[in-house]
């Protein structure tokens, strides 16, 4: 015995559901005829009719847009409101118009950002690897003490860089030198 083939599921937008409801109200078509016209199962049409007030109210009140497929709200409504409030109150670093930005870029007398950095660090001397590695270790100890794991992962990556660099430049010893009496491990 062959099993019945399942119909493909097609989600209907609230807009489409409103269109179906209007078609039922204004035309004298039966439910079966409307279901065939919109190519939906009769049970779907019955469910739309059962939720008629909810669908119309949701779109009319502006709770949901007509393009939405589902009328689900978040289970964390207060959290969502808090998030929106915080997001709206966050200040951007600069609120300038496009004209002001263009004028700033085109101005010849404005120092560039690299000029400003040169003033802060007169002549940047590149420290040796050992000093940089010590600085990373110092920062790791500091952020471990402060309890900031988000910085520790970055610093761990920096520490791994120095280990790789050290291993890359390390000279491999021969087997004979390992057994020699002057080997550093003995």
pLDDT digits (tens, 9 = 90+) for 6-63: 777 778 888 899 999 999 888 888 899 999 999 899 999 999 999 999 888 888 887 7
Residue owning tokens 């802060």 = 120
- d(CA 40, CA 63) in angstroms, rounded, equals 26
Cα dihedral sign for 28, 33, 37, 39? positive
pLDDT at 32: 92
Rounded mean pLDDT, 63-91: 78
Contacts of 16 (CB under 8 A, 6+ apart): 38
Q: Does the pLDDT value for residue 93 go beyond 70? A: no
> Domain residue spans in the chain?
14-60, 129-169
Phi and psi at residue 107, to the nearest 5°:
-70, 130
Identify whether the C-beta of residue 58 lies closer than 8 Å to the C-beta of residue 83. no
Closest CA to 163 of 184, 186, 137, 127: 137
For the chain, the residue count is 186
Residue owning tokens 């083939």 = 5
| 0.85 surpassed by pTM | no
Domain boundaries 14-60, corresponding CATH code = 1.10.10
Q: Does the pLDDT value for residue 108 go beyond 60? A: no
Alpha-carbon separation of residue 20 from 15, 16, 37, 40, 129 (angstroms):
9, 6, 9, 10, 72
133-166, pLDDT tens digit by residue?
Answer: 888 888 888 888 888 778 888 888 888 888 888 7
Across the chain, mean pLDDT equals: 78
In angstroms, how far is CA 144 from the centroid of its own chain? 27
- d(CA 99, CA 77) in angstroms, rounded, equals 40
Q: Does the pLDDT value for residue 175 go beyond 70? A: no
In angstroms, how far is CA 67 from the centroid of its own chain? 24
Q: How many helices (H) and strands (E) would you count in the chain?
A: 10, 0
Identify whether the C-beta of residue 51 lies closer than 8 Å to the C-beta of residue 44. no
Q: What distance, in Å, lies between the first and last C-alpha atoms of the chain?
A: 81
- d(CA 11, CA 97) in angstroms, rounded, equals 43
């Amino acid at each position: 015995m062959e099993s019945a083939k399942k119909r493909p599921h097609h989600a209907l937008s609230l807009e489409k559901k409103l269109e179906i409801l209007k078609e039922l109200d204004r035309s004298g078509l039966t439910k079966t005829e409307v279901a065939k016209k919109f190519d939906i199962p009769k049970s779907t049409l019955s469910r739309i009719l059962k939720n008629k007030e909810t669908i119309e109210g949701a779109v009319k009140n502006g709770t949901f847009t007509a393009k939405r497929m589902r009328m689900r709200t978040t289970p964390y409504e207060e959290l969502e409101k808090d998030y929106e409030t915080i997001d709206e109150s966050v200040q951007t670093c600069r609120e300038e118009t496009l004209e002001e930005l263009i004028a700033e870029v085109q101005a010849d007398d404005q120092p560039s950002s690299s000029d400003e950095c040169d003033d802060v660090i007169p002549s940047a001397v590149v420290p040796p690897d050992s000093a940089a590695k010590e600085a990373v270790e110092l920062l790791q100890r500091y952020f471990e003490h402060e309890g900031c794991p988000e910085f520790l992962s970055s610093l761990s990556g920096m520490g791994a860089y120095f280990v790789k660099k050290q291993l890359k430049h390390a000279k491999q010893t021969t087997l004979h030198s390992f057994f020699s009496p002057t080997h550093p491990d003995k």
